[in-house]
Structure 1
Amino acid sequence: MMIGLKQYYHIDKTWTMFFDKLHLNYFCCGVYSFNDWNDNPNYACESSNIVQSFDACSVPFTCCKTEQKYVRTNVLPSSNITINMNEIQERININGCFDEILPIIQQLIITAGIFMILICVIICVTVFLTCLLTFEIRLTLSNVKQHCQKRKHSNEENHSEKEEQLF
């Protein structure tokens, strides 16, 4: 996520939409904190960037709390700008998105694990029942074979008795 934030935000629409949706849906900013945006060249508080970028020393507008007066205000630390943490908390969401989505990811992993265990149990029961059915089929075939042999033997004896009676 940090690579996407540093290198692709504002360059790749997919990454831009990804972070904007995270910020808006989970009221978070950056990956680990709002300071992560200092690693993005468009938002960094470097002296060369302040002149070049309108967004320098700030965060994306999706990090801002709902009041429009805080959009495009300096919140990232630099040598020229000092803002106290209480002011920053009033203006933007300071928590990183990783901490916000981690419980969701953990819940999905637990759900997927339970699902996989359930599938394994179903497969094991199916294999067991297949083995049981195979055993029953073999037993039945063996019984039928024995019955056929007895009947054949019995028919042969009956046939020979009838032949003896005829002579």
Structure 2
Amino acid sequence: MATEIERKFLVKSTDFKQEAFQKNYIKQGFLNSDKERVVRVRIKDDKGFLTIKGPSNTNGTTRFEWEKEIDKEEAESLFNLCEKGIIEKYRYLISIGNHTFEVDEFLGDNNGLLIAEVELEDENEHFSKPEWLGKEVTGIAKYYNSNLSKYPYTNWS
């Protein structure tokens, strides 16, 4: 069990790709996307994961998170039970100072959306912001993956 503290930003250019030290393919679906709890199944390259997240605090930075690795085949089977809307994306990892930014380049119905997250030890922790980092969207529900699966970016007006 852990508490996750993170901030989320839009990304205004693809310059981050030249700085990335890792790139992974991620496919994920939601077994439950209730606002009080999210249960997610994910395949990251060749590994499966089951994740449970609790509700966010009032400013959207902090929430309970539990994750367990499962067989890739088990994860594939669980996709059959998921709510409508599977998310596919590439995740890039970029080191900036003492932090690692995760930048998601969404595919499919969310194509064109780029979101960066940075995990912090404390809500008020200072971190360096790269040039490609755009507007902060921490706590804005429409940018949560569980919402993007139901209301994809390409359908926004």
Q: Report the TM range for the smaller structure's normalisation.
A: under 0.3
Q: Which structure exhibits the higher relative contact order, with contacts defined as CA atoms closer than 8 Å and separated by 6 or more residues?
A: 2
Q: Which one has the bigger helix percentage? A: 1
Q: Which has the larger radius of gyration?
A: 1
TM-score, length-scaled by structure 2: 0.24
Q: Which one has the bigger strand percentage? A: 2
